[in-house]
Amino acid sequence: RIQFVIMALIGFSLVSFFLSPAEPLETVPFVGEFVDGDFWMVFAIFFPAVTGIMAGANMSGDLKNPRKAIPVGTLTAIGVTLVIYIALAVFMATHFTPEELRANQMIMVDKAWFGPAVIVGILAATFSSALGSILGAPRILQALAEQRTVPFSPIFAKKTVTNEPRNAIIFTGSVIVLALVLGNLNALATLITMFFLITYGMLNLVVFIQQSMKIISFRPTFKIPRFVSFFGAAGCIFMMFLINPVFSAVSIIIIVLLYIWLARKELEADWGDIRGGMFLVMAERASRIASRFPRHQISWKPDLLLPVDDPNLWTGPLLFIRNITYPSGSIFAFTVRNHEHDETLQSLNTLMEPLRKQNLFVSTTVIEDTDFIKGAKHVIQTLKGSAFRPNSLFLTLGDDTKNDDMLLQLVQEADRDKLGVMILRQHPRVAFGMQKEVNLWLREKSPNWHLAVLIALQLQLNWEGRLHLVASAETEKDRRRVYRFLDKLNDMARLPSRTYYHVIVGNFQDTIAGAPRADINIFGLGAEPSFSFMRGAADWTNSSCLFVKDSGWESALV
């Protein structure tokens, strides 16, 4: 109720001023001269006086219908205040000269009908604003500290026995006293205006984003056109740079850094968050636009389809998968179960979590079926129509030959659905060695080398290693021709500078013996895969081997 007393005192002070005995000027300058500062400096000093209207929102608990009363009351207060401010400006411009206004900051008191009434009004308004800030700011700081969103949160989150945020009160009080002692009030007003403009700009931006998303959950009872929120956000940023460009740029940088810092803290908020929905809507719209254009090999990236037989027992090479997909690739992992769907999905997500932490796009799903091959076929066929469909099937070859038939059926299904195929035979002891040397085995007239080259480049990039092109020739004359083929391929495919050629005369066993030592050997995969040969190749080369088959869509030459 004290607010009504304050309002009455302010009203009486205004009446006292407008009853001033000062005589009107004979000539009134309609355009002033900004001697001590430009228009935007005056705006910055004046703006915080208007923002105090928003303090009415703090009284929402005392209102019968705050949802309706707050917007109506706020806009009414803005309208009434606008009339008062314009009336004051017109009255002073028509009754006092610019020199008087610049020289006497207390001219309203000196020229009023009853000067003390104006002083009382100023003190009442100042007391009201100060009281609201002194009571509100520490509680806001304490609430933020409870959510661990500010530095030294454990200290500021504490309350006394009487539920008072003592530490937050001491800190905010110290900041206020320090600002008053060290700063100029007009300079402080400019600084405060920046904070208000940042806050209002972000509010308008959030409203604009939610309006643009057109989601059904955004149903404000007080609706405004979308252009209002857009121009509100843009206007705030525009005015910030007009007032102080340097401080505005620094403020925006600080906001971005704060956002990054808070995002990395992975806070669990009780309120809604539109970020995920915003990026999802953006992705859907981008996907809609992308679907209008034909796919081209130049946009190829490694998007793997990864079958997992049992997430609880699977020991696949996650680091290797990361190295052939990072930084722009993706992984779609799936398993097939006829029971415990939720538990299996949770285990699969836990298994893939290290890849997500590498900022890779990872999707997971569990197909309910009694037959793994049938479930895998459902996944492959379903994903053919998705916007982000995989382009390569990644399989691992173990020691157990009982799974060979299942692997063969998966390879055949991938062939039918135009998926590339990668089968990894990991060496049981050496694994991937020092992760530096990559051997890429090529045949002169084989069309099946594009995907192998692209994967070799991915590994060379992520391993920061060296790429070796290895080929065999029957005679010394053939050796020179094969060497020219490798040199031409190197030029056309724009292979890295650390690429070396190795053309070895002899049969395959001779080639194996003469090939350089590598941490991974990449071979082409024939139309009829020989799993016994794959297992043997890992033993012959004493390294892990990757067998790759094109889908027909990749190209290492674009």
Q: 420: left (phi > 0), else alpha (psi -120 to 50), else beta?
A: beta
First-residue to last-residue Cα distance in the chain: 75
Residues 325 and 223 in one domain: no
| Strand, coil or helix: 289 | helix
Residues 245 and 313 in one domain: no
Pairing of strands 420-425, 544-549: antiparallel
Query: Would you say residue 33 lies in a domain?
Result: yes
CATH of the domain at 489: 3.40.50.620
Query: Would you say residue 50 lies in a domain?
Result: yes
Q: Cα(424)–Cα(538) distance, rounded to whole angstroms?
A: 10
Angle between the 2-18 and 115-146 helix axes, to the nearest 10 degrees? Answer: 140
- DSSP assignment letter at 467: E
Q: Cα(8)–Cα(357) distance, rounded to whole angstroms?
A: 60
Q: Cα(370)–Cα(184) distance, rounded to whole angstroms?
A: 77
Query: Would you say residue 287 lies in a domain?
Result: no
Residue 438: enclosing H or E segment and its boundaries?
Answer: strand 437-441
Contacts (Cβ under 8 Å, ≥6 apart) of 146: 153, 157
Q: Are residues 228 and 203 in contact, defined by beta-carbon separation less than 8 angstroms?
A: no
* Residue at a domain's end among 390, 425, 460: 425
Residues 140 and 69 in one domain: yes
Domain that holds residue 235: 192-265
Residue with tokens 């081997």: 545
Cis peptide before 327 (omega within 30 of 0): yes
Residues 56 and 180 in one domain: yes
* Residue at a domain's end among 361, 395, 425: 425
Residues 442 and 501 in one domain: yes
| Strand, coil or helix: 491 | helix
Residues 7 and 149 in one domain: yes
Domain count, the chain: 4
Contacts (Cβ under 8 Å, ≥6 apart) of 438: 456, 459, 460, 463, 465, 466, 467, 468, 518, 519, 520, 522
* Residue at a domain's end among 135, 160, 187: 187
Q: What's the pTM value of the predicted model, to 2 decimals?
A: 0.68
Query: Would you say residue 395 lies in a domain?
Result: yes
Residue 248, token pair as written in the block = 């505005």
Residues 415 and 331 in one domain: yes
| Residues paired with residue 366 on neighbouring β-strands, in sequence order | 335
Query: Would you say residue 497 lies in a domain?
Result: yes
Query: Would you say residue 555 lies in a domain?
Result: no
Residues 198 and 173 in one domain: no
Q: Which of 346, 389, 364, 384 is nearest to 307 (CA)?
A: 364
Mean pLDDT per 10-residue segment, the chain (558 residues): 79 90 80 70 73 60 70 83 88 86 85 89 81 78 83 87 86 85 71 82 88 79 87 90 83 83 71 68 76 80 93 87 94 89 90 92 92 91 84 92 91 93 94 94 86 95 94 88 92 92 84 88 90 91 94 89
Residues 445 and 486 in one domain: yes
Q: Cα(489)–Cα(446) distance, rounded to whole angstroms?
A: 13
Q: Cα(168)–Cα(142) distance, rounded to whole angstroms?
A: 6
Residues 162 and 218 in one domain: no
Residues 43 and 169 in one domain: yes
Q: Cα(249)–Cα(377) distance, rounded to whole angstroms?
A: 54
| Strand, coil or helix: 62 | helix
pLDDT of residue 365: 93
Residues 242 and 345 in one domain: no
Q: Per residue in 156-184, is it b (16+ CB within 10 Å) or e — as a string?
A: bbeeeeeeebebbbebbeeeeeeeeeeee
pLDDT of residue 53: 63
DSSP states of 497-558: SSEEEEEEES-HHHHHHHSPP-SEEEEE--SS--HHHHHHHHHHHTSEEEEEE--S---S--
Query: Would you say residue 280 lies in a domain?
Result: no
Query: Would you say residue 404 lies in a domain?
Result: yes
